[in-house]
Structure 1
């Protein structure tokens, strides 16, 4: 972590500096004038629109840096530059540099890839070509597209960019002009400038958060109050593996609260819905339970749609024709790995986890030494 933070602090690239990218509202700069609301809204149409727009890429890098996960976008950009190299000698040296910085198991900015992909990439770099990093780059791209990109679009950073680019292109209304029914005076600042799709998303999130807060098993009060507060030893065990975090009641509560704060709690909710489904004994209950899970998390119009690939979605849909206790196993595995490789490391680096560790107390033994009686 110290090495990674050092890398971040030493960067002077203005594309990574959000203060450079988006100036204060009272300032007028050439950069701000060049960015229109239409351009910013187009970033939400596809991940490629964001990445291949100069200022979209800059904003996304800044967002990932704020989450301490910028190694993914930096690796992707390094691969893009690597493909352009013409000299064979430079290919070898650049490939070695990228491998040591991002792919090696001891890399200071290691990206989240599976062991099989890592070994395959290591072998292909034995005789590097411009396509040697294509597979691992595609894995990281997919991870960002399915997890980081949706979070960016829901982030305050993106909303601020939309609001500011819209505000700079609007004229102030005359003083005697009253507010219209569509935009009452009490409307939250900047809300009227958001596209319709963003307003609909806000309504959806409000409903989702309302349903979450009503679920007592996701309440963090048990992790913070009284004797149920986790000990320091328990908090430290969560760092040993993702499985140990999920197997702890307080760990699961803390992790769920963290995902709620990132608007991605559908992943953990789906995981535990699958765990509950697998324990269903009655064959008659399998069909309605399976349909409920599919409609809520997997269907194309699911209100809490999870990030799974097209092939996994199709396999799960086919399994729904004759539901068994294992029909969600593949989709559950995909989500488990997504959380283990992306959400779990971010949780361990989050202020929420650090606060729990700081507030936790070492475990003390209940037994006390008997007092020595007074001697005559």
Structure 2
């Protein structure tokens, strides 16, 4: 598909800490800046200033997200890429998978001509910015290059992020990394166009579960309103994200549901439902790993369980665990006990133990909040 270009003439790059401009469109409540805060609550002007300066002085910028990117990760990186390209900055967007495959559900995202393989990212980047990466290990093939970067900016909203960069823009209160990218672009003076807005809307919709999760706030809907005002086709985005799957996926889903186990005594009696997907199932039905990321949203509907766990086997036999909770259990803590992390309601980990042992360890780590 042909990549869409950012519309309009290049914006003027503002370096330093500019005065907060008026909202891009519509009406918004003015931010409270009495404590030095910004339009986005958890970060202050002094957090943004060095990042703006680094972008303003960079001749090229590498924008990277985590392996097996979701809509928030890839959408955030591409939105930033479109914006920086409009400022005349050389931009590369990448993620550390080999082969590097954009999930079919995200194939509509614009500006994919900015994507380069991990091998095309310099060994020592001048400025590298990560998006939606809570742990440097989630960069895969790009981890070493990120750690060698002259300047490493981390833009993220995971509470489990320990801070691995030279400049941190981390706000766990943000419902999506895309919200922070919107603030970054506002501070750079880059106006929203339909291409940027499509990427940002995809990020926000993905990480809020189409605005259903508890992290969704009035400000989230205000942002969505501004994005939709550019002409974003939210109906088509939603169809691609949630309502389009291959027949092979349905077969894998059916087998996973048949394996599902309900453990009502887990999580101090709040219940756990879990299942797993062997690599052989994906091979048999021609399904890519990224296609089954949404499987957990089906399993988690069980009313008898507060927590959900889906284990997905990789070719090397390791297991990628995805977990969800409905509010009374902190799955980030449970996943952290297994070497992973994430949000209280959505987290993950990698295990090299057998399925039964992995489930037992996860179960032991679950506690009612």
| TM-score, shorter chain, exceeding 0.5 | no
TM-score by length of 2: 0.28
- The structure with the larger Rg is 1
User: Which has the larger share of strand?
Assistant: 2
User: Which has the larger share of helix?
Assistant: 1
TM-score by length of 1: 0.27
